[in-house]
Amino acid sequence: MIEAAVLGSPIWHSLSPLLHTSAYKELGVLGHYQAIEVGAGGLESFMGRVDHRWTGFSLTMPLKEEAVKFADHVEPLAARINSANTLVRDAGTWRALTTDVLGFTEALKMHGVQVSGSVVILGAGATARAAAAACDGLAADITVVNRSLNRIEAMSESVENSELNFVDWSQMHVLEDADLVISTTPAGVSDAIALPSKTSAPFFEALYKPWPTVASSEWSLRGGLVIDGLDLLIHQAMAQIEIFSARTFDKESMYSLLRAVGVDALK
């Protein structure tokens, strides 16, 4: 019996309960998955009230960094990006890991995008660090665009092989030469960006609600490939579902199922 939940704040909009429960039903496993509001600074207190029935937790903002500090064991990739979106019970202890990096990798692969050349990432939070790690070693250079430069150290630890650059929000000209653009900014932030004259590079928008964003809609109208945040959510969720259920399954058919229920829920 799987007993799991997604934790974060705000959490009311999360599609994770729908995706996980749909997958459990498809796999024929007993499971219960819910959304629980846990605000910043509240993870340790919440976990102190968790009993032995719980299998694991998905984590969204603002708890991904707190999970790294809380866990008894932190997998190397989660430690490297200082972000864990998964806590799983492991022999009486809690193990923290990230499936966000794999989510980016699998979503890009599904759309036939081979990461190379210059990648531009909008934002510098936990999701941006996961995106950077997914592109590290494949992109020749990764440019992070952020309003302030106070997250340089954390982002720098996420990238080990590609050249890493930082610019502020006034230097959107970097989009002109990008081979891939990934937006990890909160809702509304990317609405006012000046799009490049050519949008031949793929645009990966990590948001799925509201959808479409102004930037993704305009990018698509200009003929560019757009990957939405629902794909990211589904691919990282499938990795969590494997962990929580201890089951392997056909990824293509599961993706099709979860994509259909996700799109329907967002109408």
Cβ neighbour number for residue 90 with a 10 Å cutoff? 13
- In this prediction, residue 144 carries a pLDDT of 96
Cα-flanking dihedrals φ and ψ of residue 242, to 5°?
Answer: -60, -40
- In this prediction, residue 39 carries a pLDDT of 98
CB 110 within 8 A of CB 231: yes
Q: What is the mean pLDDT of residues 139-151?
A: 88
What order do you get walking across the sheet with 203-205 strand by strand? 163-167, 141-145, 118-122, 180-183, 203-205, 226-227
- In this prediction, residue 149 carries a pLDDT of 72
pLDDT digits 0-9 by tens, 237-257 = 999 999 999 999 999 999 999
- What is the fold, at CATH topology level, of the domain defined by 114-224? Rossmann fold (3.40.50)
Ranges for all domains in the chain classified under CATH 3.40.50.10860? 2-98+231-265
User: Could you give the C-alpha distances from 12 to 36, 38, 184, 212, 259, in angstroms and in order?
Assistant: 8, 11, 20, 19, 20
- In this prediction, residue 63 carries a pLDDT of 97
Contacts of 244 (CB under 8 A, 6+ apart): 2, 4, 20, 31, 55, 56, 88
The tokens describing 203, both together, are 């645009």
| Gap between the Cα atoms of 108 and 134, Å rounded | 10
pLDDT at 43 over 90: yes
pLDDT at 183 over 90: yes
Q: What is the mean pLDDT of residues 35-52?
A: 97
Strand pairing class (93-97; 86-90): antiparallel
pLDDT digits 0-9 by tens, 46-101 = 999 999 999 999 999 999 999 999 999 999 999 999 999 999 999 889 999 999 99
- Name the 3-class secondary structure at 195: coil
pLDDT at 148 over 80: no
Average pLDDT, the chain: 95
- In this prediction, residue 30 carries a pLDDT of 97
Instruction: Enter the CATH code of domain 2-98+231-265.
Output: 3.40.50.10860
Structure confidence at residue 196 as a pLDDT band (50, 70, 90) = confident
pLDDT at 133 over 80: yes
pLDDT at 150 over 80: no
pLDDT at 174 over 80: yes
Closest CA to 198 of 225, 161, 171: 225
pLDDT at 197 over 80: no
Ranges for all domains in the chain classified under CATH 3.40.50.720? 114-224
CB 70 within 8 A of CB 44: yes
